[in-house]
């Protein structure tokens, strides 16, 4: 059946569909505010006119391309094209400032490719098996998973010995996440009668404000481009991949695939968790936050690992792994392809051709990315007088386009101004965003788990999968705290 699928796939029409899908995916992913979910959904009516397979290939290509595309503006402009690229921005932008944007882009595309390939392999070989694993996760585990993500706040802070400020930032994010409809009682909280706030503060506009608008405001003081000092075009082009990059890539691929498989959990958490673990395990943790390629590698392998992972429960159980997969599921249904065992038997040729196309899409963006990296990197040399208005325009457009909401534009602008103050006073924007994104997941998981346990807290401890998550959280939290404590003691000893 796989051979037959390959036969279907290696036709000019199919290959063209994958190519167009991937390329437009990169563009969509690269524009803040345009998301892969939106692109896939917009393609559904287009696929009416096409063969089911051709339509699927287009959508698969868009999905793969967009996940990678989000990293390009994250690295070059500190403007994450997708929320999943925030961790990439934390490491990639400092590299761009040092004139090493080309390298950062290269690392990102290679890591994205590896993560995407790995997860597609897993999808191809073990999809039904892994689907059962995904179902083991219930509300208590989702709460713990959100905690796992929030644990990243601590490691974001340790080297700056700004733990308290990072924690406050995280808390601020959690407080912002309270706005909206209470997930359990349905009551409105701090929405001030604005319908646009009923679903909470949309995090894409907040993200655009905090990262891209604030960045542009800061750049207004500079005369040249983003790169400080002499631009080194040569170096931009030819810097080889740094050694030791393999480990974080492998780690990110595995973590990304696993988190991708869990229904409802997104690439954002995957990217942050792999980034955090890579930071813990790195030999040079002090370089993190100042432009460490290892961080980009882990984060990008992580969010692209989600692509194949999220399709596991989508195709086998009909439970979409995230919002893009949900839109893709809509596309499958409209062609009468109903997820479940039949998809792998009766419609096997189409399904396997679709899975195999993910490999091709990955190869396409790898080649495109490697080829284009030096050209993209030149963006960092653009004079600020040109760069600032263009980026601001796209930021405003992107904030609006997300939900067709004017309120969102104001959210972006307010967040942009607030971000400057917070950053100047040493608070961590990464921690704030983490709180904002993970707050609702943690809250819903916590409340649902308590309902499930009929009010008893034992539910967080008496399930084996929950216990394992507690262990991982402890492993991530204890070492940095011990380090900070030791450093304190040493300092007070010398004083």
Which one of the spans 87-95, 178-186, 348-356, 431-439 is the region binding another protein (CB under 8 A)? 178-186
Using the minimum distance from each CB to another protein, give the nearer residue, 266 or 295. Answer: 266
The residue within the footprint of another protein, chosen from 27, 124, 178, 181 (CB under 8 A), is 181
Spatial contact of 25 and 62, defined as CB atoms under 8 Å apart: yes
Least separation in angstroms between CB 136 and another protein: 6
Q: Which residues of 418-455 are buried (b: 16+ CB within 10 A; e: fewer)?
A: bbeebeeeebbbbbbbbbbbbbbbbbbbbbbbbeebee
Least separation in angstroms between CB 179 and another protein: 12
Strands, E, within 164-258: which ranges? 180-181, 188-189
Which one of the spans 106-114, 232-240, 338-346, 368-376 is the region binding another protein (CB under 8 A)? 338-346
What tokens does 449 get?
Answer: 């788990």
List, as one string, the DSSP characters of 51-102. -HHHHHHHHHHHHHHHHHHTHHHHHHHS--SSGGGHHHHHHHHHHHHTT-HH
The residue within the footprint of another protein, chosen from 6, 10, 135, 478 (CB under 8 A), is 135
Is residue 350 a contact point for another protein (CB under 8 A)?
A: no
Least separation in angstroms between CB 100 and another protein: 39
Which one of the spans 164-172, 206-214, 238-246, 324-332 is the region binding another protein (CB under 8 A)? 324-332
The residue within the footprint of another protein, chosen from 1, 386, 406, 452 (CB under 8 A), is 452
Is residue 448 a contact point for another protein (CB under 8 A)?
A: yes
The residue within the footprint of another protein, chosen from 164, 185, 221, 243 (CB under 8 A), is 185
List binders of another protein among 391-430 (CB under 8 A): 403-405
The residue within the footprint of another protein, chosen from 331, 435, 439, 480 (CB under 8 A), is 331
Is residue 134 a contact point for another protein (CB under 8 A)?
A: yes
Q: What are the counts of helices (DSSP H) followed by strands (DSSP E) for the chain?
A: 23, 2
Spatial contact of 399 and 204, defined as CB atoms under 8 Å apart: yes
Least separation in angstroms between CB 48 and another protein: 7
* Owner of token pair 């989702």: 142
Is residue 188 a contact point for another protein (CB under 8 A)?
A: yes
Least separation in angstroms between CB 322 and another protein: 9
Least separation in angstroms between CB 300 and another protein: 26
Least separation in angstroms between CB 202 and another protein: 8
Using the minimum distance from each CB to another protein, give the nearer residue, 74 or 317. Answer: 317
The residue within the footprint of another protein, chosen from 12, 221, 229, 336 (CB under 8 A), is 336
What tokens does 272 get?
Answer: 């942050």
Strands, E, within 119-232: which ranges? 180-181, 188-189
DSSP conformation class of 460: G
First to last CA, the chain: 72
Is residue 436 a contact point for another protein (CB under 8 A)?
A: no
* Owner of token pair 């190869």: 363
Helix pair angle (429-452, 86-97), 10° resolution: 170
Q: Is 471 exposed, middle or buried (0-12, 13-18, 19+ CB in 10 A)?
A: exposed
Closest CA to 356 of 125, 27, 68, 25: 125
Is residue 41 a contact point for another protein (CB under 8 A)?
A: yes
- The rounded distance, in Å, linking the Cα atoms of 290 and 106 is 18
Spatial contact of 333 and 326, defined as CB atoms under 8 Å apart: no
The residue within the footprint of another protein, chosen from 28, 44, 130, 356 (CB under 8 A), is 44
Binding site for another protein (CB under 8 A): 37-38, 40-42, 44-45, 48, 134-139, 181, 183-188, 195-196, 198-199, 263-264, 313, 317-320, 323, 326-327, 329-331, 333-336, 338-342, 403-405, 444, 448, 451-452, 454
């Amino acid at each position: 059946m796989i051979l037959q699928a390959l036969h279907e796939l290696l036709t000019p029409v199919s290959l063209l569909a994958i190519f167009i899908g991937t390329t437009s995916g990169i563009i969509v992913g690269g524009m803040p505010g345009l998301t892969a979910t939106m692109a896939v959904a917009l393609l559904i009516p287009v696929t009416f006119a096409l063969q089911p397979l051709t339509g699927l290939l287009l959508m698969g290509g868009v999905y793969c391309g967009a996940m990678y595309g989000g990293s390009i503006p994250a690295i070059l402009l500190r403007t994450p094209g997708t929320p999943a690229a925030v961790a990439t921005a934390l490491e990639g932008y400092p590299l761009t400032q040092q004139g090493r944007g080309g390298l950062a882009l290269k690392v990102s595309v290679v890591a994205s490719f590896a993560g995407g390939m790995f997860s597609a392999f897993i999808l191809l070989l073990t999809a039904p098996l892994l689907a059962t694993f995904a179902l083991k996760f219930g509300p208590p585990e989702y709460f713990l998973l959100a905690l796992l993500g929030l644990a990243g706040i601590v490691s974001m802070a340790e080297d700056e010995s700004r733990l308290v400020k990072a924690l406050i930032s995280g808390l601020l994010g959690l407080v912002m996440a309270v706005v909206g409809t209470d997930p359990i009682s349905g009551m409105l909280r701090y929405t001030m009668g604005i319908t646009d706030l009923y679903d909470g503060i949309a995090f894409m506009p907040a993200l655009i404000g905090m990262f891209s608008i604030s960045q542009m405001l800061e750049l207004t003081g500079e005369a040249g481009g983003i790169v400080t000092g002499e631009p080194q075009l040569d170096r931009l082009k030819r810097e080889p991949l740094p050694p030791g990059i393999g480990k974080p890539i492998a780690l990110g691929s595995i973590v990304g695939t696993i988190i991708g498989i869990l229904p409802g959990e997104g690439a954002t958490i995957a990217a942050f968790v792999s980034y955090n673990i890579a930071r813990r395990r790195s030999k040079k943790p002090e370089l993190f936050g100042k432009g460490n390629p290892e961080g980009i590698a882990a984060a990008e392998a992580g969010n692209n690992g989600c692509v194949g992972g999220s399709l596991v429960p989508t195709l086998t159980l009909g439970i979409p792994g995230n919002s893009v997969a949900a839109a893709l599921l809509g596309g499958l249904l409209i062609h009468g392809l109903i997820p479940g065992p039949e998809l792998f038997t009766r419609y096997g040729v189409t399904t396997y051709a679709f899975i195999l196309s993910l490999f091709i899409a990955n190869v396409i963006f790898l080649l495109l990315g490697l080829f284009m990296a030096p050209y993209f990197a030149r963006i960092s040399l653009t004079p600020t007088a040109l760069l600032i208005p263009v980026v601001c325009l796209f930021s405003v457009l992107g904030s609006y386009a997300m939900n067709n909401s004017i309120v969102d534009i104001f959210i972006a602008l307010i967040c942009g101004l607030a971000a400057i103050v917070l950053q100047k006073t040493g608070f961590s924007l990464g921690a704030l965003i983490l709180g904002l994104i993970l707050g609702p997941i943690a809250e819903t998981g916590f409340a649902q788990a308590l309902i499930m346990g009929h009010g008893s807290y034992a539910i967080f401890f008496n399930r084996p999968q929950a216990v394992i998550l507690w262990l991982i959280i402890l492993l991530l939290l204890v070492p940095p705290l011990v380090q900070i404590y030791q450093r304190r003691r040493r300092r007070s000893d010398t004083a």
